[in-house]
Structure 1
Amino acid sequence: MNGKAAKEDLDSRIFDTLNIILLIICTVVIIVPLWNVIISSFSSGKALAEGGFIFWSPEFSLENYRAVFNDSNIWQAFFISVSKTTIGVVTHVFFCAMVGYGLSKKYIRGRKLYVAMGVITMFFSGGMIPTYLLIKSLGLLNSFWVYIIPALFSFYDVVILMNFFRNVPDSLEESAKIDGAGDWHIFLKIFIPLSMPAMATIALFNGVGQWNDFMTTKLYITDQSLYPLQMMLYEIIVQSQTQSMQNIGGSAVIETTTKGVQLATIVITTLPIILIYPVLQRYFISGMMLGAVKE
């Protein structure tokens, strides 16, 4: 018996050791490129031109960040990115929650038809050209609302919320109705607070998508005052590639300077998501509904 226990203990230690080694390798593979981008963004043009460093730059400089923050277009783009992400996330989550709340009720007439129509939209779409014509007919070209209105609805998120709402005990809703609460009161005061883990998850994924989106701008926006940060980053990358092609055989100063600004912009655009994630992480660990009702 002792021999068997010793063998199981040895197997457990081998398994734990292999897991630790694998996790360390994965961590290094993820962290090293991110660290290199951050260090490179603080490097001078000369250091970037010479290259050859991974963990530490031989010559630090803040010129890349000065170039970014001195550009008034960057501040305008930052304001657009924050505005469209904040408004887009709030309206998207609330709209999907309303639809999910309604479809979670079995007594709704035509519920199966609505669900079938929603499922179809998950697999088929009109395509780029019909979507562009629709956006144009709605008058959303060169409008801030092109970031908000088309992104209001996602049936995938509706399905997640709908299944979450079904897990809310019926006794909560019944007791609220006995006290005279209507559907809006039940939805806002009971279902929304109890569904915060699911809504926070959807808000995080939608917020990351909104923040990183630049294709909407590229397709529907020509007014540079409505450009978000990601579109500015895209233009910096295109500009650096163009200047690199034009300066083959010449000085590398322009290319490396543009590369440094590009790296600084990447760090700036990534930082808000990194800061927001820990705030929402607590909703992924435990739900507020645990222990709400004992039956």
Structure 2
Amino acid sequence: MTYDRNLASRLFNAVNMTLLVLIAAMMIIPFLYIILISFATEEEVLAKSFLLFPTKFSLTGYRYILSTPILLRSLGVTIGVTVIGTLVNLLMTVLMAYPLARKDLYGRQPIMLMIIFTMVFNAGIVPTFLIVKGLHLTNTYWALIMPGAISAFNLIIIKNFFQQLPDGLEESAKIDGCSDPGILFRIVIPLSMPAIATFALFYAVNHWNTFLSAILYINDSSKWPIQVLLRQIVILSEKGLSDLSEAPPPPSKIINMAVIVFSTAPILAVYPFLQKHFAKGVLLGSVKG
């Protein structure tokens, strides 16, 4: 009986491990393919319809992208919008989530119903554009930040997270003479850093990938974020043009892969610095019997 149970357990583990390896390979192999093709030479890309492992490596695609005169300025725009936008998102989300987490807040339920209403019904692109235009935010960087300053979904999750904190912490702080802002910034936020770091990454990724908002609200090419500029580079390379670059365009396939790697790598580099917060204990050592 014990032997059969051990055999079934080993068989289950083997099948489970095989499935996990296959799923991981389905996710990793396409990304490796993109990276390898971005370093391939023009000759191999043009000679072979399908190329998995290039025999020679070249930086032609990256040289073409980096030769674009406005690339660094566009990259600076994206970094600035990502940093400032993420700070605005976190500040406004936390400042709204904390009072909503308090059960003694007057009108708490109607406010929550209005927040949930925005998750179900959306005004649409045209009304949002008219509001942004009416506020004179078009052609400004604030048009990329303010319309999505608070995510209703993230707000609800952070509010629920704040509600899980022990009431004894706030009561003890009030006895010591701490004000409500002091409780928020000195107790609640430090204990909530794993959740805040997680949503900081979500907000940052959203700002880094800003594309549609920039297309709608930004007409000045000098204010384009990196995603819009890279799209323009891809379009011109497919048409055989090189208006945005001083170098002749290599095959569009190399440029497409290099653009994907160039736009993805920076945000991937940030992840290891925030990953440690995801599984970190939130209340470890904060409350003692």
Instruction: Please state which band the TM-score falls in when normalised by the shorter chain.
Output: over 0.9
Q: Do structure 1's residue 11 and structure 2's residue 8 form an aligned pair?
A: yes
Q: In the alignment, is residue 199 of structure 1 matched against residue 193 of structure 2?
A: no
Q: After TM superposition, where is structure 1 displaced by more than 6 Å over at least 4 residues in a row?
A: none
Of residues 48, 52, 65, the one that matches 2:62 is: 65
Give the conservation status (yes or no) of the 8 Å contact 1:49–1:256: no
- Alignment of 1:177 with 2:174, yes or no, is yes
Per the normalisation by structure 2, the TM-score is: 0.93
Q: Is the aligned partner of 1:143 residue 2:140? A: yes
- TM-aligned CA deviation for residue 95 of structure 1: 0.9
Match 2:276 to one of 282, 286, 291: 282
1:91 CA displacement: 1.1
* Deviation sequence 1:23-58 (CA, Å, 0-9, x none): 111122111111111111111222211235544213
Percent identity of paired positions between Structure 1 and Structure 2: 36
Question: Normalising to structure 1: TM-score of the pair?
Answer: 0.91
CA distance in 2, matches of 1:187, 1:171: 14
> Corresponding residue for 2:244?
none
| TM-fit CA distance, 1:114 | 0.7
Look up the equivalent residue of 1:202 and give its one-letter code: F
Corresponding residue number in structure 2 for 1:247: none
The equivalent position to 1:49 in structure 2, one of 46, 50, 60, is: 46
Q: 1:209 to 1:51 in 2, by over 3 A?
A: farther
| Alpha-carbon distance in structure 2 between the residues aligned to 1:101 and 1:125 | 25
Task: Output the CA distance in 2 between the equivalents of 1:238 and 1:127.
Answer: 27
Answer yes or no: is 1:74 the counterpart of 2:71: yes
Q: How many residues align?
A: 283
1:141-197, Cα deviation, whole Å (9 max, x unpaired): 110111111121112111111111111111111111111111111100101011111
Distance 1:11 1:291 in 2: 41
* Residue pair 2:237, 2:255 contacting (<8 A) in 1 also: no
Query: Could you tell me which residue of structure 1 aligns to residue 80 of structure 2?
Result: 83
- Structure 1: stretches of 5+ with no match in the other structure: 245-253
1:94 partner amino acid: L
Indicate the SS of the match to 2:173: helix
- Picking from 249, 273, 284, the partner of 2:267 is 273
Instruction: Please give the per-residue CA displacement for 1:109-163, whole angstroms capped at 9, x wherever unaligned.
Output: 1111111111100111111111110010011111011111112111211111111
How far off its partner does 1:236 sit? 2.5
Structure 2 residue runs without a partner (length 5+): 242-247
1:74-93 Cα deviation digits (max 9, x unpaired): 11111111111111111101
2:20 partner amino acid = L
Alpha-carbon RMSD across the aligned residues, in angstroms, is 1.7
CA distance in 2, matches of 1:148, 1:213: 10
